[in-house]
Chain A
């Protein structure tokens, strides 16, 4: 199977099971979780079933195109099933069959792997899924998002597309993966890996990144009307009513801050103590967005409660 056939097979599989097929987010994200189709939709009572590819950037993982396994940008296939159906593991295993892999002829293991995103104030419990010793997916039951308890719980499946493709195509070097017939992964991305690694590690303007971080952080406060004062128990206070807040542009700014932080980190421009402070700053604005999003949905009467309540995932109906 070529890289794009894998994507198409997963799109078809999850579409047939009732997921909305949406598109990657048009800003730099570190993982599919950052896409608002996951981060925001996991908050609140409304059901949500969605699947999409997410090109994900991890500046520190860049290797100038020289390492056969590590990339500063890779592709995740992200599935969110909310509420998580009881047969979510079976659905996942079926999806492997859709990729031409019969789970009973391989060694498939669910290995404990708790997930936490300190910047997003999100965490969950779950597994890495191993296929013959290779970690091919992350499987997470979201417990908290943006510092808010999740209810119902979203089940998140994240497929590592490059790894799966390397396995299916039996190649040892990611750049040898066939993206489509006659065109390799390296033909498309090798130069990009070198340029971005050089940028992230050597040439990114530290002053500019820091400035952008500060500016976007300020923007979040402005767009949400976030007050400097805190309420009881550190509760966030807003000067704008929920529907007057611009939660989506504010969330964009959160994503930008997170990305600039990652670049600064790769650039070696952040000391250990600064690091914690930066993470805390992103977490705070992510929480402000999460709470604002929830307040907005509530003000709107949680409109998807009924319309999407019947969408389900077909075979997952309980």
Chain B
């Protein structure tokens, strides 16, 4: 039974994101170096633990000692090492000496490049403690942070200053030094509740010993304890906890032992919009909100996760005071904001820069109105409502409350608009035009909101691409990828379709007089590529990259819903058993006719049998397929193709040789297959689809 190993690095308070990243890199580094050092066993188990003040690593299942190593080491070329008579040259004696063996232990090894000297090296494994002492400094150096800092003499860089290091294998200290600190068995408890240094007797007693010292070192356990406390406290206040995953992660990473202290504020603050109260508590103070019931009204209370609660009344009193001042500020902002209607802020947007080369927010808002009007006409929405929503959608950026709480943009605009008596459809659109904010967010579900959302995003995309601000690698400061995805999702999930090509030209035209963009054709071309890339990335997991590519190939770049219909149709037929053979046949037809000229089929040149059957069958259904394709009934079109052409085209390829010597017959056959390929390609490019039979297809090598 091998011993458990423990490493603990004690630091000053690390930020939450630092602990997460540090533990991840610590674990990866440990796994790699322990493996390289031949200390692993099948039972190896590497686990990390951490609080704001410590990063810890526990390894179980270490081998009692390093495994032995037998290795063949290659030396110099044989001819350089030995004379023809077999006597050793300098190179041979040197090589033997280096590995501590006699000349007689050197072997000849024949390789592709000739004969070489080799030697069998046996290295006995060292005791685990000795090997650990060697690799631990490297493991510690592998720890990374979002930002590192120096302190004191300024020689060393880490997430925060290091105070102590514990390194125990079983009950023995594995000695090493990191960042100028000698590892030992002394650790510390909670900063305030158990500040004294104390010694650990063994690695295995770590968690229990720290728990006695008021530190729950396991994040999962700490979080469970915190959530229990929060839920119980909410209940004792007669309400329920307003769940907040982000806040929970944040709070648990700020404490070593979580306590919950409830506090309260004057009920009159509940006249503020809920979102404001919650934002004040969450952003400024990291308090949890409490509601009367799930999704119900806010209670004038909050829950505060703290690190010590020796004197909860004092703590609550102090926090109450801070919150009261914050809420009073917010109330002042809202009162000030309401002194003038939203529309009064439009003037201020004239002096806010949207992007230095693209002009002001005022100009952007005017373009949004133009874009919204065009989109409304296309979608059959009320143009006046859409234009008014576009006009007002950015006005709240100039309110005091949004200046203080930027994440309330849209929400507050809606709230103020409702209180001004503005049409609720417009008020909702002010909020909804920011949706979707990310992959998990919903898209606007009403026409006006969806139209303004698209108008806003396309303006940003066209403007940025028009001045060469194109995302590269991880750099996407204007979140253009998210903007494009937003448009795609609104078209596919929301209440309006989007004609991408038309939209791009519309948005480009709207910039006339505002900014000097690259020509419309160039911007459209690069953005079409960009959108295709986004569509591919978004849909490939659900439908398969090949299906998306096949449909993108046939799509004209206009209606996004048209593209979706194609993808759904191909996905559907792909599931059918006869699909495989069909796909292979159309690929053959496509490949063989890639270079050949198109033209009318001459029935007189058909030689009967499979060829005539295929030609006749195609003649009867061609118009039906094309009609279905034209009407975007792609599933119908593909079903027709499968039903009517599947068997005949298979038989054709089995029985008919296309590339005959007689040029007219050959050309006629190519024309027939070319027509068929073009008809099917109008739906989706089947040659992009992966097929299992692909490798065995003989006709592809045209």
Contact = CB atoms under 8 A, between A and B. Distances in A.
A153 B12 contact: no
Contacts of A150: 150, 154
A167 B163 contact: no
B149 A125 contact: yes
Nearest to B316: A132
Given A172-B324, A272-B352, A109 B318 contact: no
A25 to B, nearest CB: 26
Interface in B326-358: 328-329, 332, 351-353, 356
A106 B315 contact: yes
Given A69-B325, A133-B322, A271-B353, A110 B151 contact: no
A167 to B, nearest CB: 7
Nearest to A112: B15
Interface in B280-338: 285, 304, 306-311, 314-315, 317-319, 321-325, 328-329, 332
B319 A272 contact: no
Interface in A273-291: 273
Interface in B6-60: 12-13, 15-16, 18, 52
Interface in A144-194: 150-153, 155, 167, 172
Contacts of B356: 273
B193 interface: yes
B322 A134 contact: yes
Most chain B beta carbons < 10 A, residue from A85, A106, A131:
A106
A274 to B, nearest CB: 10
A204 to B, nearest CB: 19
Interface in A97-133: 103-112, 114, 124-125, 127, 131-133
A226 B16 CA distance: 44
Interface size range of chain B in the complex: 35 or more
Candidate in A86, A112, A167, A273 with the most chain B CB atoms within 10 angstroms: A112
Size class of A's contact patch? 35 or more
B286 to A, nearest CB: 8
B696 to A, nearest CB: 61
A86 B163 contact: yes
A246 B304 CA distance: 53
A200 interface: no
A35 to B, nearest CB: 22
B161 interface: yes
B153 A83 contact: yes
B323 A143 contact: no
A141 B328 CA distance: 33
Contact of A107 (B15, B150, B315): B315
Contacts of B311: 105-106
Contacts of B18: 112
A107 B152 contact: no
B147 interface: yes
Interface string B140-175: 000000010111111000001101000000000000
16 contacts: A69-B325, A83-B154, A84-B151, A84-B161, A103-B192, A106-B311, A108-B192, A112-B15, A112-B16, A114-B147, A131-B318, A133-B304, A143-B150, A150-B154, A151-B154, A153-B152
Interface of A: 67-69, 83-86, 89, 103-112, 114, 124-125, 127, 131-134, 141, 143, 150-153, 155, 167, 172, 271-273, 318
Given A69-B325, A107-B307, A141-B149, 9 more contacts: A86-B161, A103-B192, A104-B310, A108-B192, A132-B317, A132-B318, A133-B318, A141-B151, A150-B154
